[in-house]
Structure 1
Amino acid sequence: MRAVVDGRTVELADGTRARISLLAEPTPCAAPAALDFATKALLDKEVRVSSITPGEVSLALPDGTDYALLAVQYGFLRTAGVDGGPLVEAESKAEKAKLGLWAQGGCPTPTAPPPSSTSVTAPPPAPPCIVVYRITNQWAGAFQADVTIRNVSGALVEGWTVRWRFADGETVAQLWNGTVSQSGADVSVTNAGYNALIVKDGSVTFGFNGAATGPIEAPSSFSVNGTACTTG
């Protein structure tokens, strides 16, 4: 893949431009986010290209995922020329979940802020993430927990690492949907290959089995990619 022109147009290795099949042209509001998503998903990746219709191609990512399906699933693009199947189902789910372009509600008209005669100190920005830590089961010396990370930063998160510190000697014994490391009370969990992307207002969840020698309590604070998060 030589270049990404927009969310549904690419320049192939031989210099020709091709449109990605079954994707509609992005709206003006959605175009920048669609381009950003396509660039991160396709550029400098070993993408498999197949073509049925002249001037149009289908793209498969290194893990075999269809790019068009992924873009629609995350709400960056809409379908075109499709009456049913996985693409239509993915678009319906993205619309219901208000993901990507579905959360924008159209293109707002910019308005100038009212003049101010006094200087007002702006409040600090809200944390870009919310972490919900939920103990789902516990028994003598062990417990099970789920951790959900919600992206409220307003931008696409491409790869994440969440960190926390246990207070009462707990340890992670087995974790799914991520990769864990622990040093003493400090725990770090990094995304798996298939859940690295978190769209605006989207979330990912991982879970683990843990061991404990004392009371089992939720950690008091979390960070994602080095930034403190709100706890939910």
Structure 2
Amino acid sequence: MTAYDAIAEWYETSFLAGQREDPLAIRPIVRDLLGPGSGPCLEVGCGTGVHAELIRSLGRTPLGVDVSEGMLRYATDRLPAARGDAGALPFTTGSLPAVVAVMVHTDMPAYPAVLREAARVLAPGGVFVHVGVHPCFCGGFADRSDERAVVIRPGYREAGWTTASWTDQGLRDKVGAAHLPLPELLHAVLDAGLTFERFAEGGEPSPLVLAWRAKKSPDRLSNPVAPG
């Protein structure tokens, strides 16, 4: 997508430099929720591939899919990655033991469809890990000017795409963001045929990150049906 292509160099050379100390505790959250394993682990919305080393350190083989050619130019030295739509993954049904989505669900207006695709390509018993901005405390509706007390203004209950952002130091003011209130986000996971196993939050003093580990039931149909 053009917006992400346009910011790829800034993201790789400037934004990520400010994330080296991992202020949101993303790396330990991924390490804890994903855990050791073997075989391929697909990262949907892999961007420049910065999580590949962590996935590899867990014994897994990182693979990536992203829509942005600009981002993928930086990813090629970090992991095998293909340009593609996370809502139509180029993988066989039931072929992957693990899928992760790290800080990308706000980039995906059709995230429920992405979750259904993740469930489709997962093998029975396969693991899905989501790490994303906290839907309750981040967004254009969140006033974080005082880090000691987040003020939630009208807008949290309104699902959709917005260019409003609580900070001008990240991606959201540059490319916009999709928002789903917490119940809709969690229901989308259940509707995809995944079962929650564990949860985590990251960021201080109030959480900026919400994460979970879910599993595809061994007796679940390969193609979960979207609710009517």
Greater relative contact order (CA < 8 Å, ≥ 6 in sequence): 2
Select the structure that is richer in strand: 1
Q: Which has the larger radius of gyration?
A: 1
TM-score (norm 1): 0.24
Select the structure that is richer in helix: 2
TM-score (norm 2): 0.24
